[in-house]
Structure 1
Amino acid sequence: MSTDALGLREQKKRETRQAISDHATRLFVERGFERTTISDIAAAARVAKMTVTNYFSRKEDMALDHHEEFVASLAATVRGRAAGQSALAALREAFLAAVERRDPVIGFAGEPFTRMIADSPTLVARLRELHEQREEALAAELGGDLDARVAASALAGVHRVLFADLTRRTLAHEDPDAVAAALKEAATTAFGLLESSFGGYAVRAV
């Protein structure tokens, strides 16, 4: 098979996966996560049930389709930090930039989608798992020792608190611009609280 043919095949796979996720999310929002079946999703996407399960081993991952990026995000930010920059400084900078662009990975998903997650015990539990996996990935990136695990707990904990605050404000129908401004202020305060303990930790060598 030629390189062009392989490229087209991979593009088709990505398009199919995205289409399944989009139809699933629409149904989850309309009907609720627990009340939507794999058969419903397959029918909406006009694919076989087996196709759905081939692309998504877990029903939850059709709703939380940024889960891989979410889990890897903190570790990736620390891995890419600039020379002379601490892990804390890199994570604060990246979070504030994510607020500016209203990044769905940090929770800017709109009220209907956020409500759909909040109303589903299955998705709430899955989101909790993803937060834990993200913390573990960050700890591994920082070296995996006791210091790394403590630092990862604190740094990922800030992100978890801010995610919850964004969720609360979204469900309360607050103005999106006001939410972003409040989240930016909260992030500055929250990361600042860690400065004395972790401001000099994991500084990349110049």
Structure 2
Amino acid sequence: MDGEKAGNEQMSLRERKKRLTYQAVSEAAIAMFLERGFDKVSVAEVAAAADISKPTLFRYFPAKEDLVLHRFADHEDEAARVVAARADTESPLDALRRNFLDGLERGDPVTGLCDVPQVLAYQRLLYGTPSLVARLYAYQSRSEAALARALGGRVQDRLAAGQIIAVLRILALENWRRIDAGESAEHVYADAVESAELAFVQLRTGLGEQR
């Protein structure tokens, strides 16, 4: 038993170290991309700045774009987790609506409703680089697949997941576009809530209650 506990602790230590390495390399890369532009910084330069070899970097990040999109990794299965953790009396759509509205209230960057300068700079890098936008769709595709499994994995669940993830993406992008144009998060907030409420009404009307 003691050996098993020690093994688990060692695994936890390795996982923590791995996560810290992921974060450190990603943050170093993003800083370089923001300063010089995504296409003007090579993977070799990022590896050198992080004091690791290029092959080691690719073991952590399969593609250059993943150095930027690593920030989305923790959110990849967020919708699925929200659905799985909901109360028995709460429908998936109600749980996802509640989670998104909570995110708007907190100014969570994932909702697009965040005017912190560093977040805006990151989002401009992301949405202004075609290869990053294309890679982002792969993350969203995995979010869709995870949500479909959480809903039950049937054809109707996959259809529902596709529509839900698309709606969340569109809501966040609309919020970001307004803030990027110069509006404050505080000014956009009421409209963002109204749009979210409208979106979930449309989902509910078109999809019915998913239980």
The whole-number CA distance in structure 2 between the counterparts of 1:9 and 1:148 is 36
Where do 1:180-195 residues align within 5 Å? 180-195=189-204
Contact 2:82 2:96 in 1 (8 A): yes
The whole-number CA distance in structure 1 between the counterparts of 2:47 and 2:158 is 42
> Is 1:32 matched with 2:37?
yes
> Is 1:157 matched with 2:166?
yes
TM-score using structure 1 length: 0.86
State the partner residue of 1:63.
Answer: 68
State the partner residue of 1:146.
Answer: 155
When residues 83 and 32 of structure 1 are mapped into structure 2, their CA distance, relative to the original with a 3 A threshold, is same
% of aligned pairs identical?
38
What is the number of equivalent residue pairs in this alignment?
202
**CA root-mean-square deviation:** 2.3
When residues 101 and 147 of structure 1 are mapped into structure 2, their CA distance, relative to the original with a 3 A threshold, is same
Contact 1:114 1:170 in 2 (8 A): no
The whole-number CA distance in structure 2 between the counterparts of 1:197 and 1:76 is 23
When residues 7 and 80 of structure 1 are mapped into structure 2, their CA distance, relative to the original with a 3 A threshold, is closer
> Is 1:83 matched with 2:92?
no
Counterpart residue identity of residue 172, structure 2: F
User: What displacement does 1:45 show?
Assistant: 2.1
> Is 1:101 matched with 2:106?
yes
Counterpart residue identity of residue 46, structure 1: D
State the partner residue of 1:127.
Answer: 136
TM-score using structure 2 length: 0.84
- What runs of 5+ residues in structure 2 fail to find an aligned partner? none
1:10-53 Cα distance to aligned partner (Å, 9 max, x none): 43333222111110111111122122111221232233323322
* Structure having the larger proportion of residues in helix: 2
